[in-house]
Amino acid sequence: MSNDHHCSQTEYHVTSCTCGDSNSQNLSVADVNSANYQGTFNFTFLIEAAFLIFAAGLLVFGKGLGIDTAVNDLSISFVAIMLEAMPFMLIGAVIGGLIETFIPQEWVSRILAGRTHTSILIAAGLGAVFPVCECAIIPVVRRLLHKGVPASAAIAFLLGGPIVNPVVAGSTWLAYRGDWTFLGTRMVFGYGIAVAIALIMSFLFQQKDMLLEDAHALTHSACGCGAHDHGDSHRSVTQRLLAAFQHACDDFFDVGKFLVIGAFVAAGCRTIIGVDVFRELFASPGLAIIAMMALAMALNLCSETDAFIAAGFRGVLPDTAQMAFMLLGPMLDVKLLLMYLTMFRKRTILVLSLLIFGMVLACTSFLQYGLGGLPGAQ
């Protein structure tokens, strides 16, 4: 076999490669998808089916059940959330597609090369330059690991990138009607938590103990040869723009379903749950924080739109509970846990999950009980 790379495009527009390097693994796209994403597909399919059945039933039988007023209120809240959030999801998808196509991974890997502590500090804030939400960051992180970026720096980018970026900042600012307290608190604590967890992980684990043996091979292109980079470099600008548009479309429709479900749940909570329940949660901020963290894990929202869902609870739940929702969701939810299984060992995922949950809970509890809430929140 020659040492030349051989790449072919499948009908799913995913590159499958075989490399002459003896250390490379010849993995088919079908094998990769079957091994790593079948669980995600089954889980999301069940959620989508249940949601469609419930929503359709509500629309058809709502009036007959005498809850037409509640259905109207739910519809208004749902549409309002969707109209505010959808543009930011579209912007994020387009930016993600452009980064995927035009930014060589070597640029990022060079930035993150060097001392571990320095690379962690840089990586946690790298989303400010490369704004990628958590829905699209997993393939990016996997390619960075293949390029030799330290695992701890990759974790810092994995946790901080989806929060500390301009698209998320803009959506948070708009969702909270220009309240800079929510924006600043989210950015500062998101960055701080990402750095702290990455440093702890670098202390607890060696690089080889964090990653799966095949983590380098299971990249988005299904090979370890960096075909994505060398494929894009030989295409015209028009072809690369079309590829970026294709990536954006895929991301938009892939994560859009979670936004729809999340908006529906948030609108439904405000419509269905009685005022007395919210008053009880407001009177017990600790319980409200945990409840919103559980909701963030279940909804699987995109960080570029989750602020609109959190803001839907403004006035009925404490500010710190809303902040817990916006901090935890981009770092830890069901879909992320399933995708973490494609990179990290199970023990690493367990420790990482406990650190994320514990750190977010500790920070928001400090804000609530140490500072009496978000300082200066309107």
CA distances to 16, 28, 64 from 9, in Å: 7, 12, 52
Amino acid occupying residue 147: K
Say if residue 310's pLDDT is above 90: yes
DSSP alpha helix (H) spans, the chain: 29-61, 68-102, 105-111, 116-124, 134-146, 151-160, 166-175, 180-204, 207-210, 227-232, 237-272, 275-283, 285-299, 306-311, 319-328, 334-340, 346-365
Mean pLDDT of 356-374: 95
Terminal Cα distance for the chain, rounded: 66
172/314 Cα distance (integer angstroms):
13
Residue whose tokens read 């209120």 = 73
Quick one: pLDDT band at residue 316, thresholds 50, 70, 90?
A: confident
Q: In whole angstroms, give the CA distance from residue 120 to residue 357.
A: 20
- Residue 374 or 32, more confident: 374
Using the structure block, give the residue that is written with the tokens 């490399």.
19
pLDDT tens digits, residue range 244-274? 888 788 777 776 777 777 777 777 776 777 6
- Segment 330-339 mean pLDDT: 85
Q: What pLDDT, on the 0 to 100 scale, is given for residue 44?
A: 60
Of 140 and 233, the structure prediction assigns the larger pLDDT to 140
| CB-CB neighbours of 370 under 10 Å | 9
Q: State the pLDDT at residue 274.
A: 67
Please report, for the chain, the start and end positions of each structural domain, with discontinuous segments joined by +: 6-370
Which residues make beta-bridge pairs with 17? 7
d(CA 104, CA 114): 19
The predicted-structure confidence for 136-150, as pLDDT tens digits, reads as follows 777 778 767 776 788
What is the average per-residue pLDDT within 292-314? 88
DSSP state, residue 371: S
Residue 164 confidence (pLDDT) above 90? yes
107 vs 111: CA distance, rounded Å: 6
Residue 302 contacts residue 135 (beta carbons within 8 Å): yes
pTM of the model: 0.69
In whole angstroms, how large is the CA radius of gyration of the chain? Answer: 21
SS3 label, residue 233:
coil
pLDDT: which is higher, 204 or 75: 204
- Tens digit of pLDDT for each residue in 55-100? 667 666 665 565 667 777 777 777 777 777 677 777 777 876 787 7
Phi, psi of 15 (to 5 degrees): -80, 130
The yes-or-no verdict on residue 25 having pLDDT over 60 is no
CA distances from 38 to 130, 252, 298, 301 (A): 29, 20, 18, 20
Between CA 229 and CA 144 the distance in angstroms is 12
Residue 225: band (very low, low, confident or very high) from pLDDT cuts 50, 70, 90: very low
